[in-house]
Structure 1
Amino acid sequence: MRHWLFMACAILTEVIGTLAMKYGTSHDAHVLGLGVMYVMLVLSYTTLALAVARIPLAVAYGAWESLGLVLISLCSAWLFAETLGVLKMAAIAVIIVGIVLLEHGTEEKPEHADAA
């Protein structure tokens, strides 16, 4: 269960880092935006590395990138007034279905698997 918490943390920090990058460039806060971006992306990769200790890499990376993309798209529409049309919403729905199918088609590594 804790590996899924690492996964959630990896996704959230990726989203925060990417939004900070956009905020910094659009609000004359370049140094602050880049600083937050660098810290969040380091945390994101670190927690992703902790998550893949138990979650299969294809599932972890797929969820990290895909859910990150979905959240960034939704937050960008909310925070930066970027358009979120019907086609983009359909793409988000397809991404979510793909993540669910990928997760259900992959078995997790046992908690105490021997390293071979």
Structure 2
Amino acid sequence: MAYLFLTLAILLETAGTVCMKLSEGFTRPLPVVGTCVTYIACFYFLSLSLKTIPLGVAYALWAALGIVLGNIIAVVFFKQHFDFAAGIGIALIVAGVVVLNLFSSASAH
């Protein structure tokens, strides 16, 4: 159940970041409300996941998957340029999370 909560937190954080982009510097009320609501819900579900998942592991997954999803959305919907260096950087972040989860004793429950 903790990983379901973490997944919800990741999706809500990504939605909140998209709303923040759409708010145009907090000048558009509806996206501002969307940002606030999704971030509150995100942190709620993240806190539930932290009852079981170690902080370092949860935060690494939350941050890395948020970065990946955010970049996918930025490229597809906002036509953001994605270059080789960005791909390498994101791959290194994801590799770090994989190493943490597979080989570190920090991920032990």
> What TM-score, normalized to structure 1?
0.86
Q: Is 1:17 aligned to residue 20 of structure 2?
A: no
Distance, in Å, in 2 between the alignment partners of 1:73 and 1:3 is: 25
Report the 3-state secondary structure (helix = DSSP H, G, I; strand = E; otherwise coil) of the residue aligned with 2:24. helix
> RMSD in angstroms over aligned alpha carbons?
1.6
- The whole-number CA distance in structure 2 between the counterparts of 1:31 and 1:15 is 19
1:49-64 pair list within 5 angstroms: 49-64=47-62
Structure 2 partner of 1:6: 5
Identity %: 30
Q: Distance in 1 between matches of 2:20 and 2:31?
A: 5
Partner of 2:108: 107
CA distance in 1, matches of 2:83, 2:28: 29
Deviation digits for residues 69-114 of structure 1 (CA, Å, limit 9, x no counterpart): 1211121111111111111011111111111111122202xxxxxx
- Give the number of the structure whose alpha-carbon radius of gyration is greater: 1
Q: Which runs of 4+ in 1 moved over 3 A?
A: none
Matched residue, 1:94: 92
Unaligned segments of structure 1, at least 5 residues: 109-116
- Amino acid aligned to 1:80: F
Paired residues of 1:23 and 1:29 also in contact (CA < 8 A) = no
Cα 1:79–1:29 change in 2 (3 A) is farther
Whole-Å separation in 2 of the counterparts to 1:102 and 1:38: 31
How many residue pairs match? The answer is 106
Structure 2 unaligned runs (5+)? none
CA–CA distance in structure 2, aligned partners of residues 52 and 76 of structure 1: 28
**SS of equivalent to 1:49:** helix
Report deviation, 1:29: 7.0
